Every structure is written in C-alpha cells, then in structure tokens.
Amino acid sequence: MPHPIGIIGTGNISAAYLKIARDLALFEVSAVTDLDLDRAQAQAAEYGTRAMTRDELLADPEIVAVVNLTPPAAHAEVSLAALRAGKHVYSEKPLAVARGDGQAILREAGERGLRVGCAPDTFLGAGLQTARELLDAGAIGRPVAATAFFMGNGPEGWHPSPDFFYQPGAGPLFDMGPYYLTALVNMLGGVTQVGGSAVKALEERTIGSGARQGERIPVTTPTHVTAQLGFGGGQVATFIASFDTPASELPRIEIYGTEGTLSLPDPNTFGGPLRLRRAGDEEWETVALTRPFSDNARGIGLADMLDAIAQGTPHRASGDLALHVLDVMHTVLESAQEGRTLSVNSHAQRPEALAVQPGWFRGTPLEVSGS
C-alpha cells in the first residue's frame, strides 16, 4: 500500500511531486496545504487530493510523512513542527538556512525515531547514477580531482520577486550549491576541508520583469564564490558558483582520474548528456544512460526514504547528507571571511548507488528514458 503523505507549500515545485506520485507506488499525496489556501485548493482539485490548513494536515493520523516545499527561511520551523507531530520529513533544499537549525532538525528526528530526507535527489537520476556506475567500475581509473561550475548572471532578469536570492542563506552558493556539492559527494565522498573566497559585483540589482520591473533591490550576500574542496579520499576539487557571469563556456562538472575524464550533466537535472574520454582517446564518447529516471523525477528521494523506512535500511537523500552540504557551504563563506583553510566538522559517506525495485511502480516499471 502506498504511504499517505502531505505537502506543505504548493508553489511551482509541488507539481513535480504530485505528478510522480501517479507513477510511483510508494506514496500518495493525501493532502496539501499552503499559506495561500486558494492556491492549495487549486492544486488539490487538479491532482485529486485534499486541501487542508497546516494544523489539520499535521494532526491527520493517516499522514506518515510531510514534504516541506516552503521557502528556505521557513524550512526549519516547518520541519520541526512536522517532526513534533510525529511525521517523517522530506524537505526541499537546503535543509535549513542556519547550520544550527539543520542540526536541531536531525536531533529532533533522532530523539523521536523519525527520518529526515532532503533534496536535491537529482543525484539519483539516470545521468549521475550512470556516471557513478562508470566511476565505480574504474572507467577513469582512480579519481584524483574535479571541477564544478555554476556560472550565471542572476535571476532578476526573469524572476518577478528575486529579493530572497540576494539575501544571506541564498546567493549562488546556497541556491545552486546543493546540487553541485551533493553530486560531488555522491561521486567522491565527504568533504573534509575547504578554502573559500567570495565577492559581490553589485550592491543593488534591478528587477527585469513582472509588476516590479525596474525596482532596485539590495544585495546582502556574496554573488561570486570560489571554493577549494578537499575530500576524505584524498581528492581535491574547485567549485565556482556565480551570479556575476554574463557568459561562460565552462563545463558543469568534470571528474579527472588516472585513466580518463568523466564530463557530468547539469546536476540540476536527472538526465544527460554524460561523456567519457579515456587517456589517449582523440574524441569524447557520449555514454548511453543505463539507469532509470532521466526526466524530471523530483520525488524519487522521498520514495527511496519511504522504502528504506519499510526495509529498515539507510536512505540516500538523507538529512545527514543535506546537513553536511549545508555545513560545507557555511564553512566556505567562513573561510572566505577569515582568509584561511578550514576543516569541515560534519561527516558524510557516499550514498549507496540507487537500486530501484519493481515494486516501486504502479504497473509497468518506468523506462530508462524516464517517466
């Protein structure tokens, strides 16, 4: 029987969870809620579920887990409320804005015997899981180093209310960093030390669309961040996250080994392209994806968590992994401020490669090409 879950926050991302619930047999959306109840009711009507107040949803004894899709500043308060109501929690990224709040969430869950999961789960998709399969099979020999780049010019040109992107707890590092850092941990393991530098190009940004077009907003967080990462296995990586780059030709992520290079897909997606070039090759080889979920499959991390609860095994998009990524991001900014390399106090293991069981699906399993 599918596990009944509730969704708190019915913004754009909620549709992905509601859609994949139609294909996966592991959960069904029993109720949704939002500060804007009209929006929640519209989502409920479209996807055949119920709209409730938050208190009603948290009090519903049938709901076993809550998906927290609220804005980042509300993540900690909502997740703690759900845990105190006896629900497992799966949160959108980041786990929390403050490191201490992330620690409090995991402490509360541990005391109550509940699970915490957290996006991104894109590392469980076809592209990055096929890359993981190649890496583990020794396709590039021993991994030695990596580079990762998120290069953009900021969201104010298209987002009608981009204020929060330029406040502490956001910026390119906290907005996009979880995708890149989670992908790197999935490939190389936990980060043990960082050296960071951080700047901002502009003190104000101008909104470029919507009702507030032309309004200027303050920038109160770094908008170009460079991190030197050291991993427990001895590998090193350079990661740059920027809202200050009008154009770039840099790759998303590359992993360098003693016998070749893997060029990974955009870690904010589930599919490809994935490319391999072994030492001595004259051209790149585009690798066929051998794992499922190449389309937008946000929610497979939740499915894996619910399956792991039933099996009594660890889940992959875990609270521990999300807290480690949050800790790394804060340590990068602290390193930049202090001008020295810092150790990362949290620890994370490489998640196990995803093993999808036929029982996950409502009928015929999804094709490798996606849902």
In the chain, what are the domains?
A: 3-118 (3.40.50.720), 123-286 (3.30.360.10)
The answer to whether the peptide bond before residue 2 is cis (omega within 30 degrees of 0) is: no
Q: How far apart are CA 251 and CA 260, in angstroms?
A: 16
Q: For residue 285, give the nearest of 263, 252, 266, 258 by alpha carbon.
A: 263
Question: Using one digit for the tens of pLDDT, what is the confidence trace for 168-206?
Answer: 889 999 999 999 999 999 999 999 999 999 999 999 999
Contact (Cβ atoms closer than 8 angstroms) between residue 234 and residue 258: no
Q: What is the pLDDT of residue 361?
A: 77
Q: What is the pLDDT of residue 370?
A: 40
Q: What is the pLDDT of residue 364?
A: 54
Cβ contacts of 41 within 8 Å, gap of 6 or more: 51
Backbone angles phi and psi of 89, in degrees to 5: -130, 135
Q: What is the pLDDT of residue 197?
A: 98
Alpha helices by DSSP H, the chain: 14-20, 37-47, 54-59, 75-84, 99-112, 126-136, 171-188, 300-311, 319-338
Q: For residue 171, give the nearest of 215, 135, 218 by alpha carbon.
A: 218
Q: Token pair for residue 127?
A: 């592209």
Cβ contacts of 74 within 8 Å, gap of 6 or more: none
Q: How far apart are CA 69 and CA 203, in angstroms?
A: 30
Name beta bridge partners: 342.
Answer: 194
Q: What is the pLDDT of residue 367?
A: 44
Backbone angles phi and psi of 237, in degrees to 5: -150, 155
Q: What is the pLDDT of residue 363?
A: 62
Q: What is the pLDDT of residue 269?
A: 96
| CA distance to 59, 171, 179, per residue, from 183 (Å) | 36, 19, 6
Q: What is the pLDDT of residue 169?
A: 87
Question: Using one digit for the tens of pLDDT, what is the confidence trace for 260-282?
Answer: 999 999 999 999 999 999 999 99
Query: pTM to 2 decimals?
Result: 0.94
Contact (Cβ atoms closer than 8 angstroms) between residue 170 and residue 221: yes
- Report mean pLDDT in 10-residue bins for the chain, 371 residues: 93 91 91 96 96 97 97 95 98 96 98 98 97 98 98 93 91 96 98 98 95 96 98 97 96 97 97 96 96 90 95 96 98 97 95 83 52 36
